[in-house]
Homo-oligomer: A and B are copies of this chain.
Amino acid sequence: MSSEEGILQFNRGVPATETLPVRGAGDALSAALEKDGQRLLAYGDSRGYLPLRETLAADCDGVSSDEVLLGNGSLQLLDMIASLYLGEGKVVAVEEPTYDRAITIFKRAGTKVVGVELESDGVKTEKLREVFSELQPELFYTIPDFQNPTGTTTSREKRERVAALLDRYGVTAVEDSPYRRLRYRGEPEPELRSLNQERVLQISSFSKLVGPGVRVGWLVGDSVTIDELSAYAEDTYITPVALGQGIVHEFMVNGWLEENVEKLKSLYRPRLEATLENLEKYLPEAEWVEAKGGFFVGVWLPDRELGRRFYEEAGSRGLVLTSPAGFFPDNGGENFLRLPFPALTPPEIESGIKRIAEVWNDL
């Protein structure tokens, strides 16, 4: 990013490039190949590299390695869930707005996607109950921690309520947790899966903790679902890419993952603070989420009607933003803005929010 006059990219939901552990990844792969090279370079288990599954299982209370599945990023795991369990005639409930790529995957499988309004403390549970009761969805897809695209964290009370609704209506939840370990303020809420192990599949990845290039996603769930998904995975790609899994395993067993997470938190915390402070300074009439971690702050500009014109004008003034329609199952969200902050410095964030405010005020 750049001068006031240049192109300002406020759309990249990616780690800061300088955080990618180039040397660490090389060292980790050398160590992994030294120990276990033939296994890492051969066809492997369709569930993924066993030492990493064991390490992940040991990190989760009461989970065995048979309840862990690794894939080439968590999106592909979600795609396999959609291919196996969703499709024509099925319904999936999602928070509205939610992760655009998840909506795409559900719709591509032919599934009806029903959005349930997201409030500042999580999904509107009365509405979720109605949807569960009336539409009997197959799945509820939720991002309880530092949600994409809003930054919202679901409160403990709502997690407990959702966990109970899953039982009451026989719905399975997919808890997507890629940002969970990147908390910059406050104390963690319990994982949804910890509140209902039978009805929650948790997915996550190391894209935000090590680097997207390792393409290591994981799923924790009951062993029957894992068996079905791993058979589907074998028929799709034989075995996921073990090299990245070997790297992540070394990061975990050597303590490098912890170190890296602390480094990321130190870098991203002031970027989140800069985002919130500059929204207060330049756009006090907007509403936004007081995010406590993750990658995003979601902002609602104060006038929905003006939203479309705002996006047109922003584009013509060199301000690159993510178009909001994809985050809403039936489009909409004209006045919604997703601000990803990790890849921008505090001065860049200030300059970006200032420019957003100028465009808005000039409409």
Residues of chain A touching chain B, judged by Cβ–Cβ distance below 8 Å, are 14-15, 17, 20-23, 25-26, 29-30, 33-34, 37-38, 40-44, 72-73, 75-76, 79, 101, 104-105, 108, 207, 210-215, 235-244, 247
- B residues less than 8 Å from A23 (CB atoms): 33, 37
* Interface pair B25/A41, CB less than 8 Å apart: yes
Interface centre among A20, A34, A40, A215 (most CB of B within 10 A): A215
Closest B residue to A17 using CB positions = B38
- B residues less than 8 Å from A14 (CB atoms): 42-43
Nearest 3 CB-CB pairs, A to B? A22-B37, A41-B211, A41-B213
14 further A-B contacts with Cβ under 8 Å, apart from A25-B41, A104-B235, are: A15-B42, A22-B38, A23-B37, A25-B33, A26-B30, A29-B29, A41-B210, A42-B212, A42-B213, A44-B212, A72-B215, A76-B236, A213-B241, A215-B243
- B residues less than 8 Å from A42 (CB atoms): 14-15, 17, 20, 211-213
Interface centre among A25, A34, A38, A72 (most CB of B within 10 A): A72
User: Once bound together, how far apart are the Cα atoms of A43 and B73, in whole Å?
Assistant: 11
* Interface pair B76/A212, CB less than 8 Å apart: no
* Interface pair B41/A243, CB less than 8 Å apart: no
Given contacts A41-B212, A211-B42, A213-B42, contact A101 B26 (CB under 8 A): no
User: Once bound together, how far apart are the Cα atoms of A243 and B215, in whole Å?
Assistant: 9
User: Once bound together, how far apart are the Cα atoms of A247 and B40, in whole Å?
Assistant: 13
Given contacts A21-B41, A37-B25, contact A215 B235 (CB under 8 A): no
Mostly, the A contact residues are: helix
Partner among B41, B236, B240 whose Cβ is within 8 Å of the Cβ of A22: B41
* Interface pair A241/B243, CB less than 8 Å apart: yes
* Interface pair A213/B40, CB less than 8 Å apart: yes
Closest B residue to A210 using CB positions = B41
User: Once bound together, how far apart are the Cα atoms of A79 and B76, in whole Å?
Assistant: 13
- B residues less than 8 Å from A215 (CB atoms): 72, 237, 239-241, 243
Given contacts A76-B236, A235-B101, contact A33 B26 (CB under 8 A): yes
Partner among B38, B108, B211, B212 whose Cβ is within 8 Å of the Cβ of A20: B38
A197 CB to closest chain B CB (Å) equals 27
* Interface pair B238/A75, CB less than 8 Å apart: yes
User: Once bound together, how far apart are the Cα atoms of A212 and B213, in whole Å?
Assistant: 18
Can you list 25 pairs linking A and B with CB atoms under 8 Å apart? A20-B42, A22-B33, A22-B37, A22-B41, A23-B37, A25-B37, A26-B30, A26-B37, A30-B30, A41-B210, A41-B211, A42-B211, A42-B212, A43-B207, A43-B213, A72-B72, A101-B235, A105-B236, A213-B239, A214-B241, A214-B243, A215-B241, A241-B243, A243-B243, A243-B247
* Interface pair B212/A238, CB less than 8 Å apart: yes
